[in-house]
């Protein structure tokens, strides 16, 4: 067999693997979005468990890829809301480890989603000794995601949510607007459109907080003038 023919076959084989992987990843994200946004909570645990099995099988089939690990972590983290406190903490720690493994394989996979999800875990998980939550680490992870995907919907939305929670209102407003300007992916329009609904709500909340802050400052000046 000619060397050029062998190279061509290897390239074709690689493309087929990537194609099959991407198709299944698309299916997993579609199923996740339906569970997350449209499925009643009472039915979510069973649905997430089935979806996790699908992602886990994909991770075993493609151990050299980070994407299945990221989806395993996302599913585990989301399902933490549906289980008791002990199992929720277990899910979160397992999701943390999966994301660390994914980053070692490919930190830019899924446009930096591993950093986004890990940032959310550090942001929302209780601090030690219960969990590993840490605001500074969360911010660093979110910034890493922004570097990988500076104009992405997911990276900017979740960083904006984090900034808003830290009362960095102007910065939050900036990143919410960047998120809204990101086009929805044709293959995942439902998931992206649903996230944009949350982004618009976050932007409105930021604007409301800014207005309340301005009114508070104005009121304090009025009170001060009245006292004088």
Domain with residue 115: its CATH number is: 1.25.40.10
Name the residue with tokens 């209102």. Answer: 169
207 inside domain = yes
Number of structural domains in the chain: 2
pTM: 0.86
Residue 227 has pLDDT above 90, yes or no: no
Are 37 and 139 in a shared domain?
Answer: yes
Residue 16 has a pLDDT of 36
Residue 228 has a pLDDT of 55
Residue finishing a domain among 132, 149, 166: 149
Residue 145 has a pLDDT of 98
pLDDT, tens digit (0-9, with 9 covering 90-100), for 10-19 = 333 334 346 6
Q: Who's near 77: CB < 8 A, 6+ residues apart?
A: 91, 92, 95, 117, 120, 121
Residue 62 has a pLDDT of 97
Which domain covers residue 134, as residue numbers? Answer: 24-149
Residue finishing a domain among 149, 176, 194: 149
**Mean pLDDT, rounded, for 101-123:** 97
pLDDT, tens digit (0-9, with 9 covering 90-100), for 170-202 = 999 999 999 999 999 999 999 999 999 999 999
**Mean pLDDT, rounded, for 41-62:** 97
Residue 3 has a pLDDT of 44
pLDDT, tens digit (0-9, with 9 covering 90-100), for 80-98 = 999 999 999 999 999 999 9
């Amino acid at each position: 067999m000619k060397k050029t023919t062998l190279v061509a076959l290897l390239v074709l084989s690689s493309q087929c693997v990537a194609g099959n992987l991407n198709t299944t990843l698309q299916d997993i994200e579609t199923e996740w979005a339906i569970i997350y946004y449209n499925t009643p909570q009472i039915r979510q645990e069973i649905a997430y468990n089935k979806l996790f099995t699908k992602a886990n099988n994909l991770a075993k089939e493609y151990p050299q890829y980070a994407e299945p690990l990221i989806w395993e972590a996302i599913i585990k983290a989301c399902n933490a809301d549906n289980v008791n406190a002990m199992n929720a903490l277990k899910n979160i720690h397992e999701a943390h480890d999966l994301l660390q493994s994914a980053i070692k394989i490919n930190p830019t996979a899924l446009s930096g989603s591993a950093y986004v999800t890990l940032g959310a875990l550090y942001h929302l998980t209780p601090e030690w000794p219960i969990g590993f939550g840490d605001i500074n680490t969360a911010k660093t992870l979110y910034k890493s995601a922004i570097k990988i995907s500076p104009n992405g919907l997911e990276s900017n939305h979740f960083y904006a949510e984090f900034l808003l929670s830290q009362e960095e209102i102007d910065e939050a407003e900036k990143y919410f607007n960047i998120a809204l300007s990101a086009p929805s992916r044709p293959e995942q329009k439902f998931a992206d459109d649903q996230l944009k609904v949350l982004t618009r709500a976050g932007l409105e909340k930021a604007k409301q907080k800014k207005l309340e802050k301005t009114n508070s400052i104005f009121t304090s000046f009025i009170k001060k003038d009245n006292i004088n």
